[in-house]
Structure formats: C-alpha cells, structure tokens
Structure 1
Amino acid sequence: MQHKSIIEFGIIGLGRFGFALAKTLADAGKEVLVIDNNESKIKQIRNITENAFVVGPLDKETLEDAGIQNCQTVIVCIGEKIDVSILTTLNVISMGVPRVIAKAISYEQGMVLEKIGAEVIYPESDMAIRLADRLISSSILDSIELTGDIAIAELKLTSKLADQTVVQANLRKKYNLNIIALEHDGKTTTDITPDIELRVNDKIVVVGKRVNIKKFEEFLTGIR
C-alpha cells in the first residue's frame, strides 16, 4: 500500500464533506489519495481515484503505510470525532506534510487544531462570524483556497434561487460546484438532499474551481 511518489492531495475521512472534496479535486484532474475506515465508501470513491484505502486505526504507522507523508496537502475531514481529529492531525503534521487543513465542528476544536499547526475550516458552522468585519457587498462570506484553482466558499443566497430545490438549482451541472453544507434560520445541515428548498439569505458552502465559484457569485449578485 506504500506510495513513494509525491501526491498533490490526501483526504482522511469520507463523510459528505470529504467525499465532495475528493470528487471535486479528482474531477479537476488533481491526484488524490483517500483513506477511510468504511470499506463501502472506499469502494465508491475508487470510481474517482485509484489511491483509496481502507484503514483501521489512524495511527502514525497506518498513515505512513498509506503514503500520507508523500502528500503536499492533507485535509483531515473527521470533525465529529474530536479526539481522533486532533490526534490524526497531529500525526500528519509530525510526518512533515507541508500543508495540513483540518475540519472543525466547534470553535474550541478549531483553536486546538490551529495551535498544533493546522489550517482550520468550519464547513458546518457559521464561518461568516469570523469575517463579519470584511463583509461588504460580496456574496462570498468566507473561503479557503485548497490549490490555485480549487476552493471552498460560503455564499449567501439571493432571490435568484428563491424557492428552488437543490435539484432545480442544479449547481453541479451549471457551475460544476458541489454543495457540502446549507444553513437556514441558524440551523446547519450537511445532509443535502435533492428536495431541500433554497431560501433568500440561506448560506451554502460549496467546493469547486475558483472560477466557477466566481461565476456563481456573479449570478447571485445579478452581474450575469
């Protein structure tokens, strides 16, 4: 299972967030290594990338065996299991990976992850709080760049998509963007089903090429 060649991205954890991230990066032609302890999820992702492995405990030895240390950027997508998230992130950082991004589901978890040297993203909470003073007219509330052309961004929905369902909005086909979280009335969900209705001022978190995020933003703001 050992991989010695340099791989652009490593993704640990295949929840909805990790899966959408892996798919978007692979669709953009990036080399992605993925590990998870769920065999069925790994089988599913192997349609997208061959570098997908089932692992048991996420200790240093297992991570090295999978080849995580050969990745330029590793995204730890295990937010829900806080202890596993922090220990895994620490292991990846100690292996000398140049850039480590970790998903957090609380501010406290994010603080710990930042202290051990990770970049932190909060895909399932209100990222806008941290950037309130920078919100002027842009629909993009917050974003994190994964590589030169791939990013994760949170946007506020306008009347352009009011009362449409996720399947009607069809962002995947129109903009090649994957929705990974949606906030409505202060409640956030990552269970994005086709029949969810989009409302004005809802916030969505999408992953995709920066140019496509920009096109979607221009659509929302009426520029195009």
Structure 2
Amino acid sequence: MSCDGRSGGQLTIGISDPHRTASTITVQLVYGGSLVSADSGITVTQTSPTLTLTVDLSGAAGATHEATFTATSATLTPTADTYVRDGSYATTVYGTATTLVVKNASTSGYNRQAFLTYDTSSVLGTIGSATLSAHGYVSDSGGTTATLTAYGVSDTTWTESALTRHTKPALGTALSTAGATTTKSWLAFDVTSHVDATGEPVCLALAEGSAGLAVILDSRENTANPPVLRLVLADG
C-alpha cells in the first residue's frame, strides 16, 4: 500500500499486490472521513472512527487500485503505555499489563499514575483538536466516583519496559478532567493545547489531583478498548 499524500483535506492511497498472491486485502487507516472516489474493486466498509476498505485484487495482475478520501480525523493508539506505583512497588515495571491503574492516596504503596505516548508523525494536515479517550471504571471499596486529570508530559524518552516510580517523568500542566464511576465507560480528556505545543511524539499522564479512588483503565495491551488519541483535522 502507498500513500500519495494529503492535500486540501483529501487523502489518496494506492493498494496493490505485486507478488499476486492475494485475492482480497483489507486495509484499515488511522484516518476517519468520507469516500470521494475509488477504483473498481474497492469497497469501503467503515468510515469512522477509522477508514476500513476491502480491495478485490482478483484479476488485477499486480495493478494498483486507488481511492481518495476526505480525511476529517485520525485515531491513534499508544506506542507505549504503563503506570507506576509507590512504596514497596516503586521498582516494579507494569509495561506489559493489560490495565493502567490510577489513584492518589495518603498511604504509601497505593499511589499510582499512568503514562502514555503517541506517535503523531503519521498524521498529515493541521490538527484542530485532540481528545484522549480511555476506557475504565472505579474499583475501590472507598466509594463509587473519581475524577482523573490529564497532564502534559515533556519528557518522551521513557520506555514502558523500564519505567518505574523512581524514573517516571514529571507531570506538566493539568489539561482537563473526566469523571469515572463503577460502570465501565469511555473517559474523554481535551488535550489539544499540549498536542499543539508538543509536536511529536506526544506524551500524556493520567493522575488524580487530590486524594481519590482507584480507577482501572484498559491499556494498549487490551486490544478491544485501548486508550486512543483522537485528532480532528482542521483542514478536513
């Protein structure tokens, strides 16, 4: 597959099988939008939050099929995510966990913060707004509701295979908040100001600004509901 670029809010892609071994190819893009035009054999099966298309290559003899879309958004999954915990867990690495846990507690050993990194280099065009969406719920005997805060993080050098409480980057500016309950749901945080100012990659943190309850979020290892960065493109 090739991308011929994005101009005037439109994205053109080309799909081919030069080895002529496949009869059908399914392609999913990080972009969402609408179809402008497509060669015969291309069927668009989804337009939001990501574009998905099926390409019939039977009889194509390796030729390229092209499709042009009006791209209005991009939905990215993390390139890295993890959380850190204090107390006797301060050297534990949680990079392969299927969950991210957040809590602000007065007792050592219960404090946890989550960190996420997104690669925005593949996004073509101007970003109009950015929303971090994380799927999770409150899991705490102390109550049923909690408020999480999204923070900008300037240090993007950490890795999920090594990050601990001792090596975690500092939290930057508080960007926005979202409320969690005991019912699993998507929590949305406006992180536009940090994404606009940072460039790529983009690092964010989720924490509680004051004492609160434990919130369990799905990590990128949970492929059903990974935390996503949804970008609305200003020129889409």
TM-score bracket, normalised by the shorter chain, equals: under 0.3
With a CA cutoff of 8 Å and minimum separation of 6, indicate the structure with the bigger relative contact order.
2
TM-score, with structure 2 as normaliser: 0.24
Greater fraction strand: 2
Q: Radius of gyration: which is bigger? A: 2
Greater fraction helix: 1
